[in-house]
Homo-oligomer: A and B are copies of this chain.
């Protein structure tokens, strides 16, 4: 990932694109790419999106969109000095507390809506 971060920095620098790459703008670009991921899956049944069933064309598109999404979050994190690996590990620990196994077994309801 560090290697990707460096490559993306250079890519932007070569094109003088840092002027466009504020976290605000990059978050919009990220949302645009997530929208393209939606488009692949929107009319498919859940089952048709599983690895065993997804067709070649849709899997190929998903790879491209996930790559774009990944690129933009590396870029946002870099711009904000955020260590994604570290933050994700902290978040998983936090989620273990918010979603204890006994309350969350077979139940994905958001922790703050569990009692509604």
Query: How many residues on chain A are close to B (CB under 8 Å)?
Result: 78
Q: How far is the CB of A60 from chain B (nearest CB, A)?
A: 10
Q: How many protomers of this protein does the assembly include?
A: 4
Query: Once the chains are docked, how many angstroms separate the CA of A6 from the CA of B107?
Result: 21
List the B residue with the shortest CB-CB distance to A25: B42
Chain A contact residues, majority secondary structure? helix
Give residues of chain A (27-66) contacting chain B, Cβ–Cβ below 8 Å. Answer: 27-39, 41-47, 49-51, 54, 57, 59, 62-64, 66
CB contact under 8 A between A81 and B51, given known A4-B88, A38-B31: yes
Question: Considering the chains assembled together, what is the distance between the CA atoms of A109 and B114 in angstroms?
Answer: 27
Please name 20 pairs of A and B residues whose Cβ atoms are closer than 8 Å in the assembled complex, sorted by A: A4-B85, A4-B92, A15-B99, A16-B106, A20-B43, A23-B50, A24-B49, A28-B28, A29-B42, A31-B34, A32-B35, A32-B42, A34-B34, A35-B35, A59-B80, A63-B87, A64-B91, A66-B84, A70-B87, A74-B88
